[in-house]
Chains A and B, each alone.
Chain A
Amino acid sequence: MKIGPKALALLTALGFLRGGGRRRPPQRIVPEGSSDRRAELLVAILLFGAAACAVMFVVVYALDWPNQTQYLGLCLGVALALIALALFVTGERIIVTEHLEEDYPPPGDPEEEAALAQIAGESAGPITRRRLLTGAAGAAGAALGIALVVPAASLGPVLDTESLYSSPWHRGRRLVGEDGKPYRAADIETESFYTAYPEAFVDREELAAPLIVVRLEPSQLELPPGREDWAPQGIVAYSKICTHAACAIALYRTPRFPEAEPGPALVCPCHYSTFNPATGGTVEFGPAGRDLPQLPLMVDAAGYLRAAANFSGPVGPSFWGVRTRRPSA
């Protein structure tokens, strides 16, 4: 049997193979297969279908249809799928399926390996002060390596980690809402949480800027010693940034059924670190390893909420050497 001229023409069209059947090679490399005219017709239909879909893609692109994304995806996707099908049919039905038997390459060539070792050894033959040269080359390499790496220190304040302790809060700074309006103590209701920022502070994207403020019953409070006057009227403020991995604490759990769940809690939605606002932000559950920093509050004569001092500890995720000390303004 002979490979059909149409199959050859098709292969030509696909750019795979060229040449007629006239000048036969002396001995076949690819075995003869049988032709399958129906498969060829099918492939042609599939390819024409793909062409039509691709044209449709251009048309949809040019026209401003609603749901254009969907139609574009459909046209292009189906065009690709039809060509894929055409290729699968070509592979299965038109092209000869042959199984070659091939030798695996030997695992290594001992002669060549020996030669390589010999070249390395003989090239180093004349060297007498081997240790000295190795040491010198090592020193040059290491020093150059360090010299080339050092400019990476320009990337950031690599050695000065003091900026991790910074905070815009200080005594007297008013708490404002998202809209910039200062909070009055009377604005803060129980069973809801408020996000507050320092007044007249431009960069709200600093980690230490956002606070989470909640009002508890003063009888619920069990703040650590020394923080007795940090929560006027039962209003407590904490850094809104979780000490685990810097996500914002965006959940406030106020259980209606205290038997099942303990008291109110501030929860980070990323890994569910849970902090107790009544006890000074201690970790109740979840992976956080450090208490939530508390901001001492006071209420001024006009009833506005103000910071009484800086946070009780550094804001944001912990790092090597972080210690519980007041952030610097």
Chain B
Amino acid sequence: MIRRAVAFIDERSGSASFVRKALRYAFPDHWSFLLGEVALYAFVVLVATGIYLTLFFEPSTAKTIYHGSYAPLHGMKMSKAYASAISLSFDVKAGLLIRQTHHWAADVFVAAIVIHLIRVFFTGAYRKPRELTYVIGVLLLFTVLLEGYLGYSMVDDLLSGMGLAIGYGVALSIPFVGANLALAIWGHPFPGDPDFWSRMYIAHVLIFPVLIGALLGAHLALVASRHHTQFKPRRVNGERKLIGVPTFPGQAPRSLGLFLAVAAVLVLLGGLVQINPIWLWGPYHVGSATNGAQPDWYLGWLIGALRLMPSFDVVIANRTVVPNPFWGGILFPLVVMAALLAWPWLERRARGDRATHNVLDRPRDAPVRTAIGAGFLTWVVLIFMAGASDRVLVFLNVSYASQIDFYRVAIWVLPLIVGLLAWRLCLGLKAKEAVEHDQRAAVRSARRAPPPAGSYPSRAAIGAAPPRGPSAGRTKRRG
């Protein structure tokens, strides 16, 4: 029966040999290799929940009077976009569950990508022959950030409107073309032409998802074509031989299980943990704003950069040349992106390393990379934290101005300290390993040759457990 089904398809597609290879493709085993998969599965959940939401959401700024089942907003004038987002939360069965799951999935999606990127960086997985995979991954991250921003901006509640206002300010600030670009995107000075809502909507539900899907496809195809990297295997030359669990049957239930586990966590979050209760914020008006407003976590680093920048515009002859939001809103993320994109080539040049690498480094194996990475990460994380300084002011009553003063110094000093500490730590770990390696070698040779009388090496001194029997000891440890 199964033979006949397979034969039917194979005779008409010639796919049997390819599918067989795919089924026996080897996945190396390590928990950290699942991070990218988590991101992929969050994306699947995003697409599924997003399609459901499009069936109820109306991307229109046309005004309407709210008459749904959420009493506090009764009789309030608002855009149809906001009204439909509220009615799909209250009057559509399972609507709120799906909306909150969608929102949580977006937050988890970006988090998984960022942690995946950190893993890839600190293990040197981006080295030849995987630079293109890495470059596409970095581009994916920035595409996804924009997609997430568009998603929560469409709702037209107070928070999304404030986010759009900032986006408008940042777009205007681009030198030479800012005003033209902002007017092209918004179609009219802020809050923009009604068409702007159609533009955001089509970008969020079609253009960006297709772009993300295409980049994701290319990313995965390149991963499969060069095969996964692995940590140094014990018995074989890991640069030539890959050891792993085959797609089928070994990996399939694990990976599918991970998909369902990700979906389960997202649905549980969506059902039980409230996120972005838009009905509390109220509709957006150009003239209103609220204190302590925060975007989704993944834009916190940009808010932080905008906040930290001192009052500084480039002004020549009473004309502004570079307005302030450019520094934090455009230049900073571009610098981060350029640094990430350029890194594989910078490292290649600095190390003169043209070789192919299939075996991953542990962070300690490349102390300079680990130090630079740790410092860079500290820099971005500190700027991210500065984005939350208004919350610290509201909840802990720490003066806003002194926090900003602190961060303005800390973002330059702490990365150096952290980088230096990481470097020292790597060297220390390596030195310790070298010592342990020598000691193990000494133990082995001591065991092979009968010890000279009176000089039996003390096991306590070499860090081994005291022997329980004649054959106990360290013989079972990997050598």
Contact = CB atoms under 8 A, between A and B. Distances in A.
B253 interface: yes
B24 A100 contact: yes
Contacts of A317: 168-169, 172-173, 323, 325
A251 interface: yes
Contacts of B129: 107-108
A299 interface: no
B289 A249 contact: yes
A27 interface: no
B460 interface: no
Contacts of A238: none
Contacts of B185: 155-156
Nearest to B168: A246
B244 A99 contact: yes
Contacts of A257: none
Interface string A148-186: 000011011111110110100000000000000000000
Nearest to A166: B189
A98 interface: yes
Interface stretch (A117-125, A133-141, A224-232, A268-276): A268-276
Interface in B300-324: 303, 306-307, 309-313, 315, 318-324
A73 B189 contact: no
Interface string B172-186: 111111111011111
B119 to A, nearest CB: 20
Contacts of B176: 320
By DSSP majority rule, is chain A's interface helix, strand, loop, or mixed?
loop
B289 A97 contact: no
Interface in A79-102: 79-81, 83-88, 90-91, 95-102
Nearest to B227: A104
Interface stretch (B9-17, B207-215, B234-242, B374-382): B234-242
Contacts of A160: 183
A287 B324 contact: yes
B169 A163 contact: no
A278 B469 CA distance: 86
A120 B248 CA distance: 40
B323 A289 contact: yes
B250 A91 contact: yes
Interface string A18-31: 11000000000110
A253 B372 CA distance: 42
Contacts of B249: 11, 16-17, 30, 95-96
B290 A269 contact: yes
A68 B390 CA distance: 35
**Best-buried of B94, B182, B260, B291 by chain A (most CB within 10 Å):** B260
B339 interface: no
Given A288-B311, A289-B311, A320-B321, A87 B256 contact: yes
A78 B256 CA distance: 16
Nearest to B90: A69
A105 B228 CA distance: 11
Contacts of B22: none
Interface string A229-253: 0000000000011001111111100
A151 to B, nearest CB: 11
Contacts of B258: 84
Contacts of B259: 84
Interface of A: 11, 16-19, 29-30, 61, 68-74, 76-81, 83-88, 90-91, 95-105, 107-108, 152-153, 155-161, 163-164, 166, 195, 197, 204-207, 209-210, 240-241, 244-251, 268-273, 283, 285-290, 316-324
A228 to B, nearest CB: 23
B267 interface: yes
B191 interface: yes
Contacts of A321: 179, 319-321
A107 B184 CA distance: 45
B305 to A, nearest CB: 10
**Best-buried of A69, A81, A241 by chain B (most CB within 10 Å):** A69
28 contacts: A69-B97, A70-B272, A72-B94, A73-B101, A77-B265, A78-B268, A95-B249, A99-B26, A99-B29, A99-B244, A101-B236, A102-B243, A103-B242, A104-B226, A104-B227, A161-B180, A164-B183, A164-B189, A207-B190, A207-B286, A247-B166, A270-B303, A287-B324, A290-B320, A316-B190, A318-B323, A319-B172, A320-B320
Interface of B: 1-3, 5, 24-26, 29, 93-94, 96-97, 100-101, 128-129, 162, 165-166, 168-170, 172-180, 182-191, 193, 199, 225-227, 236, 239-246, 248-250, 252-254, 256-261, 263-265, 267-272, 285-293, 303, 306-307, 309-313, 315, 318-325, 328-329, 356, 358, 390, 400-401, 404
A239 to B, nearest CB: 10
B264 A246 contact: no
Contacts of B191: 205, 207
B399 to A, nearest CB: 9
Contact of A246 (B165, B246, B309): B165
A209 B287 contact: yes
Nearest to A11: B249
Contact of B227 (A105, A156, A269): A105
Contact of B289 (A70, A107, A247): A247
Contact of A320 (B178, B270, B286, B307): B178
Nearest to A165: B189
Q: Please list the 8 inter-chain residue pairs (A to B) with the smallest Cβ-Cβ separation, ordered nearest first.
A: A73-B271, A245-B169, A289-B313, A210-B287, A87-B257, A77-B268, A318-B323, A80-B264
Contacts of B291: 250-251, 269
B61 to A, nearest CB: 9
B172 A88 contact: no
A290 B322 CA distance: 12
A195 B287 CA distance: 8
Contacts of A11: 249
A322 B172 CA distance: 10
A163 B178 contact: no
Given A205-B286, A319-B172, A97 B183 contact: no
Contact of A285 (B25, B257, B401): B401
Contacts of A204: 285-287
A99 B239 contact: no
Given A80-B263, A318-B320, 20 more contacts: A18-B1, A80-B264, A83-B260, A84-B261, A91-B250, A96-B250, A102-B242, A103-B242, A104-B239, A104-B240, A155-B185, A157-B183, A158-B180, A158-B184, A206-B189, A240-B287, A244-B324, A269-B291, A271-B303, A272-B307
